[in-house]
Amino acid sequence: MFTLESPKSRWAIQVLTLDYLIDGYIDGDRDKYWFRVAGRDVSATPVASARFHPTGNLAVATPPTVPWVLVYGDRLVALIPRDDASTATARQTNAAFKYAVPADVYVGPYVIRGQVLSQDMSLRVFEGYVGFPVQDAEISCLIPGAQLPDLQVPYMLVFSRQKQLLVPRA
């Protein structure tokens, strides 16, 4: 359930949508299930103390920080844990995804290059999941004039209905 209360257990995260990168906090006690890949649907995600920036070439004046934003699930691309507690929970929650497969993931206007984590050595396992973990990832926005510099992240969860291609690398 979403409330306007400030998170009691603040976990730093980034949320990547089709058009924005949002930095902020979630309540680690209440919202830790968001990191679960198996058995989860893409739903709205509230982020507190949020700062958001366009990733493409949108000319949008964004406020420095807002008390909260609600990220709609149909626009969600990825959740990126940004502190030790959120990263540990994300990794532990998805511990069954332990086989690293080098791959490029094309999602909306982005290409995500990294080690896609699988429950076995096949990428076909992802047909039944809404998302998957990626480690040692580099995110690039393919829109000409994009404002997002290439972003390096040690661990992320790709949750998107906008996935287009999952391409294994040799």
Three-state DSSP at 85 gives helix
CATH of the domain at 151: 2.30.30.100
Residue 1 lies in a domain: no
Give yes or no for residue 107 having a pLDDT over 90: yes
> pLDDT tens for residues 55-89?
999 988 888 888 888 888 788 899 999 999 999 99
Average pLDDT over residues 95-108: 93
Tell me: pLDDT of 1 over 50: no
Residues 38 and 81 in one domain: yes
Name the nearest CA neighbour of 167 among 112, 98, 114, 105. Answer: 105
- Are residues 27 and 58 located together in one domain of the fold? yes
And the tokens for 85? 């507690």
Supply the pLDDT for residue 9.
Answer: 83
Of 21, 29, 30, 25, the residue nearest 11 (C-alpha) = 25
